Structure 1
């Protein structure tokens, strides 16, 4: 693949221009050592070449080879969006996002690898932009080449446009709006008080770190081992003894939604890792239903909506 950029700063180095357009050091290294090229006005140059205003810099990115350690699988994909740069799919509950040493097969990465292999795309590597826990269902976001992936990495201006919404189900709580002013004054901003009280909507800002002695579980903690975490929520439906929450993640900590709500005493239905049980559902009631981002190559706002799965719908019937 090749991409072209117009230089706007006199005497700028090629690598400076490319950095301003989201070309990472790693990608630049791939271009240099894996058969790619850098052209200035159609003449091959190196990364430290000095540019004039109006110079056209073209990068030719080498095709990405097959990853022999990732097994392709002939698993049907529910594709929600696809173009030459990005792929968005629906991940079922119970399927891991990526493979591991213990489970080298059966992941979404295997299914996507099989798909791109069958399609015969020039780039055969699988690049995951957003992932989901094994038992969380919903939208997963992939890129189809390394430059598209670099443009959606943390720190990129395009990454800041990415927003994910989740549906989660918890046991019904008393909305803050029905309380008296005196009762409302007793409820802290972030922590649920006795009597199962939760605002109709709000934001949870509590840092998250590893649970001592566990490589899997996380917890709210306030020491050097934690990282800031922010979660917005809104109660959108109260039905059948349950509350349906619409949640926006502002940070991407491991198990963030599950940890934040379990800390408030509101473990997600089915989440036995964080205080729930399987009485009503054999997995956590969590589903990524909305993805939006500004497309780096078209500047178009892409919005994708996915219906709630049947197992969560049945809880609310």
Structure 2
């Protein structure tokens, strides 16, 4: 693939500095320099240490990333909400694992994306998850189709600038209309569980109460950090585990998986600086709970 940018400034700048300023990571620049592509300016190959004059263009050519041959291709369907040359936004169903693991190496979301890219004739067959969901959490997932896209959005990931919002149905009646949960979260030894602990990593969850009845509360949740099981741990810690969340002792009578769905995803596309916003309707099993079915 190749992409071209223009130095809009009135001053010259080293090519490496210019590329870093637009978000390209040091590792990718080094990979291109050492044979994984080339830098072109004024119809000639240049080096990252060369200078880009004002209002001149730099074209970056990147060779396709080597396929991960340990990841099998699955040709089962995926629900694509949005696609262009750089991104896939997918509505993942509950029950589908994101990446291969010991119990499932053949039909995860990653396997299906690879199969889809093969079917589309893509030369880049190593997709990169920018966001990821637990197996039994449904909703929107952002995937970079190539390593340039992954590199350019890395700063938004690190700064928690990608807006992800969730619907969650938690047990009991949440009293506050709006609140923050900021307890640190850490790993429980010899367990897949996480828990609030003093020496855990900082975590911040914001929520709004949207609907309440005698046995559950629907909350809209925004993550300000991205800890494993963050929403599940925070609500369990305050006595409101998610419905269906067996790992964190949530009630199991109304739904067969944790009632959690990523319905909103928003980010600034680093290729054109446009804000991209997507939403996915609440799935049927959670809707049935809300409707009393």
TM-score (norm 2): 0.93
Rounded to whole Å, the distance in 2 between the matches of 1:27 and 1:242 is 48
Q: For 1:156 and 1:96, how far apart are their aligned partners in 2?
A: 25
Take 1:300 and 1:158, find their aligned partners in 2: how far apart are those partners?
A: 19
Could you say which residue in structure 2 is the equivalent of 1:264?
238
Structural mapping, 1:5-44, within 5 Å = 5-7=5-7, 8=9, 10=11, 12-44=13-45
Secondary structure of 1:98 counterpart: coil
CA contact (8 A) 2:130 2:157 kept: no
2:165 is aligned to 165
Contact 2:169/2:218, CA 8 A, preserved across alignment:
yes
The within-5 A match list for 1:1-317 is: 1-7=1-7, 8=9, 10=11, 12-153=13-154, 155-156=155-156, 160-173=160-173, 198-211=175-188, 213-223=189-199, 226-239=200-213, 241-317=215-291
The verdict on how the C-alpha distance between 1:148 and 1:37 changes in structure 2, with shifts beyond 3 A counting, is same
For the pair shown, the structure with the greater C-alpha radius of gyration is 1
Q: Which runs of 5+ in 1 are unaligned?
A: 176-197
Q: Matched residue of 2:149: which SS?
A: helix
Q: How much does 1:12 deviate?
A: 2.9
* 1:9 to partner: Cα distance: 6.8
Q: CA deviation at 1:5?
A: 2.4
Contact 1:130 1:142 in 2 (8 A): yes
What runs of 5+ residues in structure 2 fail to find an aligned partner? none
Structure 2: distance between partners of 1:106 and 1:272:
24
> Tell me, what secondary structure is at the counterpart of 1:15?
helix
> What do you get for the CA RMSD once the two structures are aligned?
1.9
The number of aligned residues is 290
Distance 1:34 1:68, change over 3 A: farther
- Going from structure 1 to structure 2, the CA distance change for 1:227 and 1:9 (only over 3 Å counts) comes to farther
CA offset digits 1:255-313 (Å, max 9, x no partner): 00001001101110111111224222221111111111112222222111111111111
Give a deviation string over 1:54-75, Cα, whole Å, max 9, x none: 3322111112232211101011
